[in-house]
Amino acid sequence: MPRFSVILPAYNVAEFLPAALDSVLAQTCPDWECLCVDDGSADDTPGIARSYAARDPRVRVLTQSHGGVSRARNLALDHASGEWLCFLDGDDLLHPKLLATCRDASARYPEAPIVTFGHTTGSRLAFAPVSRPATEEVDCSRELATGYWSRQFWDAVYRRDFVGELRIQPYSCAEDLLFWYSCLYRAERIVHCEAELYGYRIRPGSAAHGDPTVDKAMDGCRAWHDIFDLHARSGRRVSAFALRRMVRGAYIDPAVALASLPDSADTRRAWDEWLALARARRASQPIPWPHRMLIAGCAALRSRFLAKLLLAWPARCLAALRRR
């Protein structure tokens, strides 16, 4: 059994996939397998993946008809055999010492099922040298630190027996955050390494940076409502920042996205779902009182216009002021 399973979904990323796979092959910890899942690509992505598998038997190629990144990751999860799970997107990079650093941290703190680290971003990725990063074990059994609410799910490796049968929901937006918080709320201890070990590529036109759509807005809305439910059931404390983050994801961000889209039958149905979720789930959610009053008013009156006026338009104005 390898120490790490690197899960790498790939869809039409022929331009970037060689660099991603090279970053896996460059790991100073050699005890890994890489499950590269071709998600029905129309370019040379599957050919590139097969060429790497021919060079190194630790690279395994799985294929599926195009079904999205969640389905691709779940396919890899079903086939993973490593003790730990590491997630890598086809246009991103791993620091050469990522797996070795996580291996050492997990050996030092064997009770923790998650090891987190930092990341760097940009259109051109470069890593700082890493020697011996500071590590600490965090007790999160009663309270989740604010810093975890600014992280992404690829900022961590996860023990496979801890993940168990948990899988990634087939949302087009925030599906990875739901997986991350599902793991976070199940863990009692987490180890954090003070090093930037993941390279996240900013790429116009990618799934994360494309134009808003009805599906993306509402999938994000549903995922953040699920995260709100995780929190409400957990009984754990979080900061005011974390509560605002949940409100933004479940209510404000989808409202801003829907308000920016042309009026259509699809957007009207999405607004109706937004209002229905506000009516059905708001009562169980620990929403800060100013937001609670605004959302309650929109839900009670079932008014799309009020949701735009009280939530979407002020959020857009505030975002515009921050960009100045």
Write the pLDDT tens digit of every residue in 162-215. 999 999 998 888 889 899 999 999 999 999 998 999 999 986 655 555 678 999
3-state secondary structure at position 132:
coil
Contact in structure between 80 and 158 (CB atoms under 8 Å): no
Q: Which amino acid belongs to residue 209?
A: H
* Percent residues over pLDDT 70 in the chain: 97
Distance CA 157, CA 165 (A): 16
Residue with tokens 């690279």: 59
In angstroms, the CA 225 to CA 160 distance is: 26
Q: Decide: 83 and 4 in contact? Cβ < 8 Å.
A: yes
Residue-wise pLDDT for 205-238, tens only, equals 555 556 789 999 999 999 999 999 999 999 899 9
Q: What pTM does this model have?
A: 0.91
Q: Where in the chain is the domain with CATH 3.90.550.10?
A: 4-201
The two three-digit tokens of residue 214, written as one number: 């009805």
Q: Give residue-wise pLDDT tens across range 51-108.
A: 999 999 999 999 999 999 999 999 999 999 999 999 999 999 999 999 999 999 999 9
Name the token pair of 202: 């900013």
Q: What is the dihedral of CA 261, 66, 54, 198, to 10 degrees?
A: 30
Contact 96, 162 (CB under 8 A): no
Return the closest-CA partner of residue 119 out of 127, 109, 131, 108.
127
Q: Is the domain covering 4-201 a CATH 3.30.70.260 domain?
A: no
